[in-house]
């Protein structure tokens, strides 16, 4: 299954919550999707659809696919227009942010899963859950570039990002569930933002999402 199919699916969902929170647009969402998934109310993520009767208790290992990373619309243009001279964000900076976030995503999810006893593998199997993730609408308020030098940027938030994730049975390829969730790094005070603080903020958000996946697997086993 190609990434362009995944993009088509979740971009359609994003039309329902592009400018506001996903929760505010819940009434606009269908109860059942075209692929037969039913909306799950009162979930830990903003929007969740799942196959009726699907049992996550079957899975003790996870095949975690590479995460797709996409910036918020016009983010690159806005960064370049608001930055002066040597401080402008380059295509190399953008690719580095994508690569770094993808590496952080895998590391955080892998550790969270393995700490709770779920193996992370690169194979299919009867006990393997295939997880296909994407980070979209990535908005880094103050990207820390190598040319920043002695400059300092203060902000009340490192930024925001939205997770879209699909869960599949790794053997049959059946779509079990999909979810969409937007998270914003909020700070009541203006703080100095740099690569270190941005990393801390993103890892906190990623840890929250990874924990939700682990909790869903744990609760399925307990039932």
The pLDDT tens digits for 162-191 are 999 999 999 999 999 999 999 998 754 444
According to DSSP, residue 221 is labeled H
Phi, psi of 131 (to 5 degrees): -115, 120
Q: Which two structure tokens, joined as six digits, stand for 151?
A: 């400059």
Distant-in-sequence, close-in-space partners of 46: CB < 8 Å, separation ≥ 6: 17, 21, 22, 23, 179, 180, 181, 182
Length of the chain: 223
* Cβ pair 213, 131 in contact under 8 A: yes
Can you give the pLDDT at residue 115?
Answer: 98
Can you give the pLDDT at residue 26?
Answer: 63
Whether 155 has a pLDDT exceeding 90, the answer reads: no
Give the residue with greater pLDDT, 193 vs 221. Answer: 221
Is residue 210 helix, strand or coil?
Answer: helix
Highest mean pLDDT: which of 72-86, 113-127, 139-153?
113-127
Whether 14 has a pLDDT exceeding 60, the answer reads: no
DSSP string of 41-92?
TT-SSSEEEE-TT--GGG-SEEEEPPPEEEEPTTHHHHHHHHS-GGGSPPHH
Whether 6 has a pLDDT exceeding 50, the answer reads: no
pTM, to two decimals: 0.81
Q: Which two structure tokens, joined as six digits, stand for 28?
A: 């606009």
Give 41-86 pLDDT, tens digit per residue.
989 999 999 999 999 999 999 999 999 999 998 888 887 776 544 5
Q: What's the rounded mean pLDDT across residues 93-109?
A: 94
- Lowest-pLDDT range, 6-10, 94-98, 133-137, 206-210? 6-10
Whether 4 has a pLDDT exceeding 50, the answer reads: no
Can you give the pLDDT at residue 70?
Answer: 94
Q: Provide the 10 A C-beta neighbour count for residue 122.
A: 8
Give 196-213 pLDDT, tens digit per residue.
777 888 999 999 999 999
Q: Which two structure tokens, joined as six digits, stand for 156?
A: 């009340």
DSSP string of 1-48?
--HHHHHHHHHHHHTTSSSS-TGGGGGGS-SB-TTSPEE-TT-SSSEE
Give the residue with greater pLDDT, 33 vs 5. Answer: 33
* Cβ pair 69, 103 in contact under 8 A: no
* Cβ pair 63, 130 in contact under 8 A: yes
């Amino acid at each position: 299954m190609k990434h362009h199919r995944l993009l088509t699916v979740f971009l359609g969902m994003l039309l329902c919550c592009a400018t506001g929170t996903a929760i505010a647009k819940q009434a606009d969402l269908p109860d059942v999707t075209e692929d037969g998934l039913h909306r799950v109310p009162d979930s830990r993520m903003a929007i969740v659809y799942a196959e009726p009767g699907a049992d996550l208790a079957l899975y003790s290992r996870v095949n975690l696919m590479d995460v797709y990373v996409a910036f918020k619309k016009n983010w690159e243009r806005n960064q370049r227009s608001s930055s002066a001279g040597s401080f402008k964000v380059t295509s190399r900076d953008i690719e580095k942010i994508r690569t770094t976030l993808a590496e952080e995503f895998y590391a955080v999810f892998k550790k969270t899963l393995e700490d709770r006893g779920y193996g992370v593998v690169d194979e299919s199997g009867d006990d393997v859950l295939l997880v296909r993730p994407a980070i979209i609408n990535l908005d880094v308020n103050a990207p820390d570039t190598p040319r920043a030098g002695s400059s300092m940027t203060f902000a009340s938030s490192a930024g925001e990002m939205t997770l879209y994730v699909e869960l599949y049975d790794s053997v049959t390829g059946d779509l079990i569930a999909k979810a969409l969730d937007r998270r914003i790094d909020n700070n009541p005070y203006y703080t100095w933002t740099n690569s270190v603080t941005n990393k801390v903020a993103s890892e906190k958000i990623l840890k929250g999402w990874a924990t939700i996946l682990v909790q869903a697997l744990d609760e399925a086993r307990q039932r």
